[in-house]
Structure 1
Amino acid sequence: MSEAVREVPKKERPEFRNIHVTELSNYRMPLASIVSILHRISGFLIFGLLPFVLYLLQESLRSEISFAHYQGFITYPLVKLIILALVWGYMQHFCAGVRHLIMDMHIGLDKDSARQSSAAVLAVSLTLTALVALKLFGVF
């Protein structure tokens, strides 16, 4: 009977704890998580500013005078930066959404493919935003 009750030695297992605030500077998130967080931020940006953008669109379509007013309003550099932030939000959200749709079809779920697709999302969205910025600030 004593043989059946003998104790089995415990393995030393690593202990995973929550990250403390002082350790945040040492923690490095994977690229896929950064793209996921940016997808949420861009969605919030688009959703939060959509009523304002629709109001500006409505007012610019009301008459020729209001269109001329908003055409002059868009020439301010701060307004151009806000438009550029909205364009980035849309491009990031669209590209990350396409990535998520492809992942919903069980394509690219392994670690290397997820890293490559998240890098592609960042590259494509930033490139498209840069092209719009060049057009917006008059380089093209």
Structure 2
Amino acid sequence: MWALFIMKNVKKQRPVNLDLATIRFPVTAIASILHRVSGVITFVAVGILLWLLGLSLSSPEGFLVASSIMDSFIVKFIFWGILTALAYHVVGGIRHMLMDFGYLEETLEAGKRTANIGFGITVVLSILAGVLVW
């Protein structure tokens, strides 16, 4: 019975848009996707940062090696990206917690407004992280 129902519904000709370039995501969806991506980046970065910390604390020579690694422009750029991802993830997490605790409305308008505010705060924190790294 269920197989017949599924087969009947699968054969319907539905409009399918698989061209992702034509899909316009709302700002709330972009904020949600970026929050997940920043979480993955932060998770991976913890291993890299712990390795660098361990190297710097291992010996005076290890500190010099870690210090020379951090002098590279590419490494500074990656470190800045990690700090930016962490800042966005923290800002997005605070936004979600404020919504969960009832301090912010759970409406579409409030979601759009807080997502844009979160983006703005992250830009400011990213600039401050860039000043800190360089």
Q: TM-score, normalised by structure 2?
A: 0.82
Question: Larger Rg: 1 or 2?
Answer: 1
Whether 1:133 aligns to 2:130 is: yes
**Is the partner of 2:25 in helix, strand or coil?**
coil
What value does the CA root-mean-square deviation take over the aligned residues? 1.5
Whether 1:86 aligns to 2:86 is: no
C-alpha contact 2:80 2:130 (8 A) present in aligned 1: yes
Return the alpha-carbon distance in structure 1 between the equivalents of residues 105 and 81 of structure 2.
29
Aligned to 1:113, which of 105, 110, 114?
110
* Matched-pair identity in %: 26
- Output the amino acid matched with 2:35: H
Residue 43 of structure 1: aligned partner: 39
Q: TM-score, normalised by structure 1?
A: 0.79
Q: Which structure has greater helix proportion?
A: 2
Whether 1:34 aligns to 2:30 is: yes
Stretches of 4+ aligned residues off by more than 6 angstroms: none
Between the two proteins, the alignment pairs up a number of residues equal to: 120
Uncovered stretches (5+) of structure 1, i.e. residues with no partner: 1-16
**Is the partner of 1:60 in helix, strand or coil?**
helix
